[in-house]
Amino acid sequence: MVVAGQAPPSQSSDNSSGLLMLQRVLAQSEGQQAQGRLVIHLKPLDELASSPDNIPMVDQDILTIPRRPSDVNVLGEVYSPNAIVWRPGLSVRDCLNMAGGPTEGADPDHTMVVRADGSVWTEQGIKQSERSTMFPLLPVISGGLMESKVGPGDTIFVPEQLIYTSKLQYTATITNIIAQSLMGLAIIGIMGATL
Protein backbone atom coordinates (compact mmCIF):
# COMPACT_ATOMS: atom_id res chain seq x y z
CA MET A 1 0.00 0.00 0.00
CA VAL A 2 1.32 3.42 -0.98
CA VAL A 3 0.33 6.39 1.13
CA ALA A 4 -0.18 9.72 -0.69
CA GLY A 5 2.87 11.96 -0.38
CA GLN A 6 5.13 9.01 0.39
CA ALA A 7 7.49 7.38 -2.11
CA PRO A 8 6.96 3.71 -3.01
CA PRO A 9 9.29 1.33 -1.11
CA SER A 10 11.61 0.77 -4.12
CA GLN A 11 11.98 4.50 -4.77
CA SER A 12 12.53 5.13 -1.06
CA SER A 13 15.39 2.60 -0.96
CA ASP A 14 16.92 4.21 -4.10
CA ASN A 15 16.75 7.62 -2.43
CA SER A 16 18.36 6.34 0.80
CA SER A 17 21.16 4.54 -1.09
CA GLY A 18 21.80 7.72 -3.10
CA LEU A 19 21.88 9.74 0.10
CA LEU A 20 24.33 7.28 1.70
CA MET A 21 26.61 7.46 -1.34
CA LEU A 22 26.52 11.28 -1.26
CA GLN A 23 27.40 11.25 2.47
CA ARG A 24 30.34 8.90 1.79
CA VAL A 25 31.69 11.14 -1.00
CA LEU A 26 31.38 14.21 1.24
CA ALA A 27 33.16 12.44 4.11
CA GLN A 28 36.02 11.32 1.82
CA SER A 29 36.50 14.75 0.29
CA GLU A 30 36.24 16.65 3.56
CA GLY A 31 39.98 16.71 4.29
CA GLN A 32 41.18 16.99 0.70
CA GLN A 33 42.38 20.10 -1.06
CA ALA A 34 43.07 20.78 -4.70
CA GLN A 35 46.63 20.06 -5.76
CA GLY A 36 48.41 22.47 -8.01
CA ARG A 37 49.39 26.07 -8.26
CA LEU A 38 47.65 29.31 -7.55
CA VAL A 39 48.72 32.13 -9.80
CA ILE A 40 48.83 35.57 -8.23
CA HIS A 41 49.83 38.85 -9.80
CA LEU A 42 52.34 40.60 -7.58
CA LYS A 43 51.95 44.33 -7.20
CA PRO A 44 53.86 46.93 -5.22
CA LEU A 45 53.26 46.39 -1.49
CA ASP A 46 51.11 49.50 -1.09
CA GLU A 47 48.72 48.25 -3.84
CA LEU A 48 48.78 44.57 -2.79
CA ALA A 49 46.80 45.10 0.43
CA SER A 50 43.65 46.16 -1.45
CA SER A 51 43.96 43.73 -4.39
CA PRO A 52 42.31 40.30 -4.75
CA ASP A 53 45.81 38.79 -5.00
CA ASN A 54 46.43 39.54 -1.31
CA ILE A 55 45.83 35.98 -0.11
CA PRO A 56 46.86 34.56 3.26
CA MET A 57 49.53 31.87 3.13
CA VAL A 58 49.24 28.75 5.24
CA ASP A 59 51.79 26.28 6.57
CA GLN A 60 53.92 24.65 3.83
CA ASP A 61 52.84 27.12 1.12
CA ILE A 62 55.69 28.02 -1.22
CA LEU A 63 55.91 31.30 -3.10
CA THR A 64 57.91 30.91 -6.31
CA ILE A 65 58.76 33.97 -8.36
CA PRO A 66 59.96 32.76 -11.77
CA ARG A 67 62.45 34.62 -13.90
CA ARG A 68 60.74 36.94 -16.36
CA PRO A 69 60.65 35.07 -19.68
CA SER A 70 61.64 36.79 -22.90
CA ASP A 71 60.11 34.46 -25.47
CA VAL A 72 56.86 33.01 -26.81
CA ASN A 73 56.70 29.28 -27.54
CA VAL A 74 54.87 28.07 -30.65
CA LEU A 75 54.20 24.32 -30.45
CA GLY A 76 52.10 21.63 -32.09
CA GLU A 77 51.18 21.32 -35.73
CA VAL A 78 53.26 24.17 -37.19
CA TYR A 79 56.07 23.84 -39.72
CA SER A 80 58.77 25.05 -37.33
CA PRO A 81 57.86 24.65 -33.65
CA ASN A 82 60.17 26.98 -31.74
CA ALA A 83 60.55 29.88 -29.34
CA ILE A 84 60.20 33.40 -30.70
CA VAL A 85 61.76 36.40 -28.99
CA TRP A 86 58.88 38.43 -27.54
CA ARG A 87 58.45 42.06 -28.45
CA PRO A 88 55.54 44.40 -27.68
CA GLY A 89 52.65 44.21 -30.12
CA LEU A 90 53.16 40.59 -31.27
CA SER A 91 49.85 38.89 -32.05
CA VAL A 92 49.04 35.18 -32.14
CA ARG A 93 48.89 35.41 -35.96
CA ASP A 94 52.37 37.02 -36.09
CA CYS A 95 53.86 34.21 -33.99
CA LEU A 96 52.18 31.49 -36.07
CA ASN A 97 53.51 33.09 -39.26
CA MET A 98 57.04 33.20 -37.79
CA ALA A 99 56.74 29.45 -37.07
CA GLY A 100 55.81 28.74 -40.69
CA GLY A 101 52.07 28.59 -40.09
CA PRO A 102 49.83 25.58 -39.41
CA THR A 103 50.65 22.34 -41.25
CA GLU A 104 48.18 20.43 -43.42
CA GLY A 105 47.36 18.15 -40.49
CA ALA A 106 46.66 21.08 -38.13
CA ASP A 107 43.35 22.17 -36.68
CA PRO A 108 43.85 25.97 -36.58
CA ASP A 109 40.25 26.55 -35.44
CA HIS A 110 41.15 25.01 -32.06
CA THR A 111 44.42 26.90 -31.50
CA MET A 112 44.96 27.80 -27.86
CA VAL A 113 47.20 30.23 -26.03
CA VAL A 114 48.45 29.18 -22.60
CA ARG A 115 49.33 32.43 -20.86
CA ALA A 116 52.36 32.68 -18.59
CA ASP A 117 49.98 33.00 -15.61
CA GLY A 118 48.36 29.62 -16.46
CA SER A 119 45.14 30.91 -18.01
CA VAL A 120 44.10 29.52 -21.39
CA TRP A 121 42.67 31.50 -24.31
CA THR A 122 40.73 29.89 -27.14
CA GLU A 123 38.60 31.33 -29.92
CA GLN A 124 35.53 29.78 -28.30
CA GLY A 125 36.47 31.26 -24.92
CA ILE A 126 36.84 34.73 -26.41
CA LYS A 127 33.45 34.42 -28.11
CA GLN A 128 31.80 33.37 -24.84
CA SER A 129 33.54 35.89 -22.61
CA GLU A 130 31.50 38.39 -20.62
CA ARG A 131 32.54 41.28 -22.89
CA SER A 132 31.42 39.31 -25.95
CA THR A 133 27.99 38.61 -24.48
CA MET A 134 27.51 42.33 -23.88
CA PHE A 135 28.84 43.22 -27.35
CA PRO A 136 28.28 40.16 -29.62
CA LEU A 137 30.26 41.59 -32.56
CA LEU A 138 33.33 42.37 -30.45
CA PRO A 139 35.22 39.12 -31.35
CA VAL A 140 34.57 39.76 -35.05
CA ILE A 141 35.67 43.39 -34.89
CA SER A 142 38.68 42.73 -32.67
CA GLY A 143 39.94 39.83 -34.82
CA GLY A 144 39.38 37.20 -32.13
CA LEU A 145 42.20 34.99 -30.89
CA MET A 146 44.46 35.50 -33.93
CA GLU A 147 44.73 39.26 -33.33
CA SER A 148 45.14 38.91 -29.54
CA LYS A 149 48.46 40.20 -28.23
CA VAL A 150 50.79 37.68 -26.64
CA GLY A 151 52.99 38.29 -23.63
CA PRO A 152 56.41 37.01 -22.64
CA GLY A 153 56.22 33.39 -21.48
CA ASP A 154 53.03 32.60 -23.38
CA THR A 155 52.73 29.35 -25.35
CA ILE A 156 50.72 29.01 -28.55
CA PHE A 157 49.60 25.45 -29.30
CA VAL A 158 48.05 24.31 -32.59
CA PRO A 159 46.47 20.85 -32.15
CA GLU A 160 46.39 18.03 -34.67
CA GLN A 161 43.21 17.71 -36.72
CA LEU A 162 41.11 14.79 -35.55
CA ILE A 163 39.06 13.04 -38.20
CA TYR A 164 35.93 11.33 -36.97
CA THR A 165 34.37 8.60 -39.07
CA SER A 166 31.00 7.02 -38.50
CA LYS A 167 30.62 3.27 -38.23
CA LEU A 168 28.55 3.31 -41.42
CA GLN A 169 31.31 5.11 -43.34
CA TYR A 170 33.90 2.71 -41.90
CA THR A 171 31.82 -0.33 -42.95
CA ALA A 172 31.29 1.09 -46.45
CA THR A 173 35.04 1.67 -46.84
CA ILE A 174 35.90 -1.88 -45.71
CA THR A 175 33.21 -3.33 -48.02
CA ASN A 176 34.58 -1.30 -50.93
CA ILE A 177 38.14 -2.54 -50.25
CA ILE A 178 36.97 -6.17 -50.12
CA ALA A 179 34.92 -5.78 -53.34
CA GLN A 180 37.87 -4.18 -55.16
CA SER A 181 40.20 -6.95 -53.94
CA LEU A 182 37.81 -9.68 -55.09
CA MET A 183 37.42 -8.01 -58.49
CA GLY A 184 41.20 -7.82 -58.82
CA LEU A 185 41.54 -11.51 -57.93
CA ALA A 186 38.82 -12.39 -60.44
CA ILE A 187 40.65 -10.47 -63.20
CA ILE A 188 43.92 -12.21 -62.32
CA GLY A 189 42.07 -15.56 -62.36
CA ILE A 190 40.55 -14.89 -65.79
CA MET A 191 43.89 -13.74 -67.17
CA GLY A 192 45.60 -16.81 -65.74
CA ALA A 193 42.98 -19.14 -67.24
CA THR A 194 43.33 -17.63 -70.72
CA LEU A 195 47.10 -17.85 -70.76
- The residue ranges of every structural domain in the chain are 71-158
What is the model's pLDDT at position 162?
77
Q: Are strands 112-114 and 155-158 parallel, antiparallel or unpaired?
A: antiparallel
User: Which DSSP helix (H) or strand (E) runs through 113?
Assistant: strand 112-114
Phi-psi region of 57 (alpha: psi -120 to 50; beta: other; left: phi over 0): beta
Say what the pLDDT of residue 118 is.
76
What backbone torsions phi and psi does residue 54 show, to the nearest 5 degrees?
-85, 85
Report the predicted TM-score, pTM, of the whole model to 2 decimal places: 0.55
SS3 category, 141? helix
| Whether 92 contacts 109, CB under 8 Å | no
Domain range 71-158, its CATH number among 3.10.560.10, 3.10.20.600, 1.10.8.60, 3.40.50.720: 3.10.560.10
Amino acid at 95: C
Measuring CA to CA, how many Å separate 12 from each of 2, 5, 138, 151? Answer: 11, 12, 52, 57
Question: 20: Cβ–Cβ under 8 A, 6 or more apart, which residues?
Answer: none
Question: Tell me, what's the pLDDT at 129?
Answer: 67
pLDDT attached to residue 7: 46
Each residue's pLDDT expressed in tens, for the chain with a length of 195 residues: 444 444 444 445 555 666 776 677 667 666 665 556 666 777 777 887 788 878 888 888 887 777 778 899 999 999 999 999 999 999 999 999 999 999 998 988 889 998 887 788 888 887 776 554 555 555 445 568 888 899 998 999 998 887 766 778 778 888 888 888 778 777 777 777 776
Q: Residue 48 CA to chain centroid, in angstroms?
A: 32
